[in-house]
Amino acid sequence: MIWLRRHARLAISVVLLAVLFALYIAIHPRGMSVYVMTIWSNQGALLALAALAQFFVVLVRGIDLSVGPVVALTNVAASYLVSGSGLQVAFGALAVLVVGAACGFANGAAVVYGRVPPIVATLASGSIYSGLALLLRPTPGGTIDDAVSDAVTYDLFKVPTSLILIVLVVLLLAIPLRRTRFGLSLYAIGSARDAAVMTGIRVPAVTLASYAIGGFFAALAGLYISMVTLTGDPNIGPAYTLNSIAAVVIGGVALSGGVGSPLGAVLGAFTLKTISALMFFSGLPPLAQPFFEGAILAIAIVLGALGMLRVRSRLERFA
Amino acid sequence: MAPLIELTAVSKSYGGVPALTDVSLTVEPGAVHAILGENGAGKSTLMKLLAGVIAPETGTIAIDGQVQRFATPRDAARCGIVCMFQELSLMPHLSVGDNMLIGDGGAALALIRRGSRRAARAVLDRVGGQHIAMATRIADLPLADRQLVEIAKAIGRKPRLLILDEATSALTAERVETVFAVIRALRDAGCAVLFISHRMYEIDAVADRISIFRNGRHIETFAAGTRSHDAMISLMIGQSLKELFPPRRDPPPVSTPPILSVRDLRWAPHLNGVDLDVRPGEIVGLGGLDGQGQQHLMHAIFGILRRTSGTVTLEGKTLTDLTPGRAKTRRIGLALVPEDRKTEGLILDMTIADNLRLAGLSRKPFGLANATDATDAAIAKLIERLGLTYGRLSDPVKTLSGGNQQKVVLAKWLALGPRCLLLMDPTRGIDVKTKAQIYRLLQDLAGEGLAIVLQSTDYEELIHLCHRINVFYKGRVVRELSGAEATPDALIAASLNVSAEAA
């Protein structure tokens, strides 16, 4: 009971996603099948990884407008690096992740040492990363190793591989975030930066690390996109930046920092993707779809804010 | 015994304004060393230097005879110096347990062991926090419990020098005694404790040595008990203080009808049927242990709580659907000085002038902030009357000392010309001189016919200022003390809900 009360926010997200998913399956012409599940899960996983990238930066009271550009840059990098012999593919994938982490680290350095506000720093660096992606590959193209792509984008025992991977990532993140001093200090910095300094947390180092982890997850998203599309495309970025922010908000991550969980960010991403997919099969005229997509999104955000109804004094509401 | 810490000729100034000048001080292990001084005397600067928050401009700090330079609080913590700042070291969104464990120097990436959690629980129990659950978020705790968590957090680091800066300001006398028992045990185990408090009885109870600071200088250090209170206060303010508490004015005659009446006010589970009457010219005190409903009563009267039952009447008219915005209108004329001036009373980054005008904004003609009206004139007069010390009115309000910040909060409400003033712990963490000024002001205001409700955790204040004291216990008024009945013993007994003889 206490558990449910503490996690009411997450429970709402789960129920919301379940309802939307049921609706999606109900109207999908092919109904529930491994194929439909796999497509849905692959689409969700792409945004979920980008949302995790955003989550780590938002957690320390930042915001990352370069998530999309880093996704595009690493996607392009993958189209050069992830092919050839098995060893080449492995090192190529590793190199792509290093590129992403380095982009995140550079963002963090600008914010921590350059004292540039995150929104400005990542807007500028995002332009640089997009520009790099365009220089590297002006038009979509390149090759991606088929075998690896097949392994991570189909299904394993009729369960979509991407879903298994995302569940693994969430499980692997949950424990370190809540049970280690490093994980707690991410929450601490977002919650009250000055108090974190007074407590003896290495605020600059931890902030830098969280931006780098954010870049790492953006690279995972870029890498995974190349697995799904089998090309490198420098123009895929913009949608990921704003959708990653929307996903973390739907998933209950506070933009003011210090509140939220990786599971929430992932649920938010899948919710957002399910809404778009629902529109596609809804039979609504295409021009009316944005209106209904927006309306469902608004309802999702209101449901997420239901916790406010329990507020007992006005001071609490505005605190 | 060799000193643990030795400061030699330390100076520090902020933007050309000296905060500490040529201070030399030694702190010995196994003693509680109290630092006394008015606000602005340099105590907080001294603590920040020792805790590694700021670095001295000249002079040295030596620990165990070795000169150290701290770049961050982390460096100081490594030397065994742990500081408990006034409500500054807790993360509101983290749980009590996480707050106590984080930054304790354990390995960053290792899993936190169950043993560490158990140890944190034990420390919290020791300082009297048995009722606080480890899984509660700090943001959901009342101020007093937050202070207990902060004290436990500091003690849990096993400090060699523990710095307590106004650590017990929101705690009632009973809670303070539990904390003191722990501090004495630490001292007996060889820990040095630097203790800042403005409450004389706390200094009497716990200090072994006392150092007096004034205007950024170290005036004198002596053994506790060798000077009288008056002598210490004289050293602190550089002149003798006639009397901390001004003589109490006569209460209004019993026949005066009350201006504010509360009947059977309920807000489960914190308020369980409270009755209260306040007459014009009367100061009514709300006392009792922490969290017995006093604070909630204030919030309920001012319209902050939702779904209360019972009635609040002002001059015979029942007030319904009250909000703070309506409560402050001329027609109603209530004013509330909140408990936490840093978050509820002021907007710290805004200027002094803007903070002063905030409460009166709705009274501006057509809502134009720059249009002048009667409240602006009233503010100018109040700045004079309160003796507000400031550089420029365009400085951010956070640059003021605690006492002056509180004067700004008082001025912004008094400028509206309220008929009933609700005060929540108005002198918490404020120096003696400002306290005396505020006490005098309250007496004068009562003399002018203002009705005042004073909630306080400082029982001396309740006894010396109030005409009547309502003692709360579990959301009800269990006793009303007035005149000669109002003694410290009676007040404590009533707070514990036992008769005076049994206590």
Q: Do B344 and A315 touch (CB under 8 A)?
A: yes
**Residue A291 CB burial class (10 angstroms; 0-12, 13-18, ≥19):** exposed
The domain tally of chain A equals 1
Average pLDDT over residues B87-105: 82
The answer to whether position B501 is within a domain reads no
Helix (H, G, I), strand (E, B), or coil: what is residue B99? helix
- Give the distance between the most distant pair of CA atoms in chain A: 64
**What digits encode the pLDDT tens for the residues B158-175?**
889 999 888 887 788 788
CB contact, 8 Å: B268 with chain A?
Answer: no
pLDDT score at B249 = 80
Q: Do A179 and B135 touch (CB under 8 A)?
A: no
The answer to whether position B258 is within a domain reads no
From A147, A172, A148, A151, select the one nearest A160 (Cα to Cα): A151
Which chain A positions have a beta carbon within 8 Å of B309's beta carbon?
none
CB contact, 8 Å: B88 with chain A?
Answer: yes
Nearest CA in chain A to B74: A200
The answer to whether residues B161 and B53 belong to one domain is: yes
The answer to whether residues B410 and B345 belong to one domain is: yes
Complete edge-to-edge strand list for the sheet that includes strand B283-288:
B334-337, B420-424, B451-455, B283-288, B468-473, B476-482
Question: Does the pLDDT at position B23 exceed 70?
Answer: yes
Domain hosting residue B488, numbered range? 275-495
Range 38-97 of A in CB contact (< 8 A) with B: none
The answer to whether position A12 is within a domain reads yes
Q: A6: distance to nearest CA of chain B, Å?
A: 10
Question: Does the pLDDT at position A160 exceed 70?
Answer: yes
Q: Do B106 and A201 touch (CB under 8 A)?
A: no
The answer to whether position B261 is within a domain reads no
pLDDT score at B86 = 67
Domain hosting residue A125, numbered range? 6-306
Question: Best interface-test mutation with A: which of B94, B153, B304, B328 has the largest number of A CBs within 10 A?
Answer: B94
What lies within 8 Å, CB to CB, of A69 at 6+ separation is A125, A126, A127, A128, A129, A130, A133, A237, A241
The answer to whether position A1 is within a domain reads no
From A75, A148, A64, A139, select the one nearest A108 (Cα to Cα): A64
- What element of type H or E holds B266? strand B260-267
CB contact, 8 Å: A185 with chain B?
Answer: yes
Q: Do A198 and B304 touch (CB under 8 A)?
A: no
Residue A5: how many other CB atoms lie within 10 Å = 10
The answer to whether position A314 is within a domain reads no
Residue B148: how many other CB atoms lie within 10 Å = 26
Nearest CA in chain A to B137: A6
Q: SS3 for chain A, per residue?
A: CHHHHHCHHHHHHHHHHHHHHHHHHHHCCCCCCHHHHHHHHHHHHHHHHHHHHHHHHHHCCCCCCCHHHHHHHHHHHHHHHCCCCHHHHHHHHHHHHHHHHHHHHHHHHHHHCCCCCHHHHHHHHHHHHHHHHHHHCCCCECCCCHHHHHHHHCEECCEEHHHHHHHHHHHHHHHHHHHEHHHHHHHHHHHCHHHHHHCCCCHHHHHHHHHHHHHHHHHHHHHHHHHHHCCECCCCHHHHHHHHHHHHHHCCCCCCCCCCCHHHHHHHHHHHHHHHHHHHHCCCCCCCHHHHHHHHHHHHHHHHHHHHHHCCEHHHHHC
Question: Does the pLDDT at position B364 exceed 50?
Answer: yes
Question: Does the pLDDT at position B494 exceed 80?
Answer: yes
**What digits encode the pLDDT tens for the residues B219-276?**
888 888 888 887 887 787 766 655 677 878 888 888 889 999 999 999 888 899 999 9
The answer to whether residues B98 and B30 belong to one domain is: yes
The answer to whether residues B101 and B203 belong to one domain is: yes
Helix (H, G, I), strand (E, B), or coil: what is residue B265? strand
Which chain B positions have a beta carbon within 8 Å of A255's beta carbon?
none
The answer to whether position A169 is within a domain reads yes
Spacing of C-alpha A167 from chain mean position: 13
pLDDT more than 70, % of chain A? 92
**What digits encode the pLDDT tens for the residues B295-326?**
999 999 998 888 889 999 988 888 888 888 88
Is the reported ipTM for this assembly greater than 0.85? no
Q: Do B101 and A313 touch (CB under 8 A)?
A: no
Which chain B positions have a beta carbon within 8 Å of A6's beta carbon?
135
Residue B384: how many other CB atoms lie within 10 Å = 9
Cβ atoms of residues A152 and A240 within 8 Å: no
Which chain A positions have a beta carbon within 8 Å of B106's beta carbon?
181
Measured CA to CA in angstroms, residue B290 lies from A269, B148, B159, B453, B495 at distances of 45, 12, 28, 17, 9
Cβ atoms of residues B397 and B405 within 8 Å: yes
Which of B89, B93, B103 is facing A187, going by the closest CB pair?
B93
Cβ atoms of residues B412 and B357 within 8 Å: yes
Cβ atoms of residues A135 and A94 within 8 Å: no
Question: Does the pLDDT at position A290 exceed 60?
Answer: yes
Q: How far apart are the C-alpha atoms of A259 and A262, rounded to whole Å? A: 11
The answer to whether position B475 is within a domain reads yes
Average pLDDT over residues B351-363: 84
The answer to whether position A18 is within a domain reads yes
Q: Do A315 and B304 touch (CB under 8 A)?
A: yes
Backbone angles phi, psi at A188, to 5 degrees: -65, -45
Angle between helices A161-179 and A262-281 (to 10 degrees): 150
The answer to whether position A312 is within a domain reads no
Question: Does the pLDDT at position B502 exceed 50?
Answer: no
Cβ atoms of residues A241 and A68 within 8 Å: yes
Question: Does the pLDDT at position A319 exceed 50?
Answer: no
The answer to whether position B115 is within a domain reads yes
Choose the final residue of a domain: B212, B237, B262.
B237
The answer to whether residues B52 and B110 belong to one domain is: yes
Cβ atoms of residues B295 and B252 within 8 Å: no
From A118, A162, A117, A133, select the one nearest A68 (Cα to Cα): A133
Q: Do B91 and A192 touch (CB under 8 A)?
A: yes
Residue A234 pLDDT level (bands cut at 50, 70, 90): confident
Q: How far apart are the C-alpha atoms of A9 and A306, rounded to whole Å? A: 8
From A73, A54, A78, select the one nearest A236 (Cα to Cα): A73
Q: How far apart are the C-alpha atoms of A309 and B93, rounded to whole Å? A: 19
CB contact, 8 Å: A315 with chain B?
Answer: yes
The answer to whether position A189 is within a domain reads yes
Beta bridge partners of B309: B266
**What digits encode the pLDDT tens for the residues A74-92?**
999 998 888 878 888 889 8
| Structural tokens at position B185 | 């045990």
The answer to whether residues B191 and B108 belong to one domain is: yes
Beta bridge partners of B332: none
Q: Is the pTM of this model over 0.90?
A: no
Peptide bond connecting B269 to the previous residue in cis, omega within 30 degrees of 0: yes
Which of B91, B109, B306 is facing A195, going by the closest CB pair?
B91
Question: Does the pLDDT at position B1 exceed 70?
Answer: no
Q: How far apart are the C-alpha atoms of B432 and B220, rounded to whole Å? A: 18
The answer to whether position B134 is within a domain reads yes
Question: Best interface-test mutation with B: which of A58, A198, A259, A318 has the largest number of B CBs within 10 A?
Answer: A198
The answer to whether position A315 is within a domain reads no
The domain tally of chain B equals 2
Which chain B positions have a beta carbon within 8 Å of A184's beta carbon?
94, 98, 101-102, 112
The answer to whether residues B194 and B286 belong to one domain is: no
Spacing of C-alpha B239 from chain mean position: 25
- What element of type H or E holds B336? strand B334-337
Q: Do B88 and A198 touch (CB under 8 A)?
A: yes
Residue B388: half-sphere exposure toward Cβ, Cα within 13 Å: 26
| Structural tokens at position B224 | 């506790």
Q: What's the CATH number where A200 sits?
A: 1.10.3470
Higher-confidence residue of B445 and A300: namely B445
Q: What's the CATH number where B55 sits?
A: 3.40.50.300
CB contact, 8 Å: B417 with chain A?
Answer: no
The answer to whether residues B177 and B72 belong to one domain is: yes
Residue A306 pLDDT level (bands cut at 50, 70, 90): low
Helix (H, G, I), strand (E, B), or coil: what is residue B420? strand
Q: Do B91 and A182 touch (CB under 8 A)?
A: no
The answer to whether position B265 is within a domain reads no
List of E strands, B431-493: 451-455, 468-473, 476-482
From B361, B370, B465, select the one nearest B413 (Cα to Cα): B361
The answer to whether residues B190 and B279 belong to one domain is: no
CB contact, 8 Å: B71 with chain A?
Answer: no
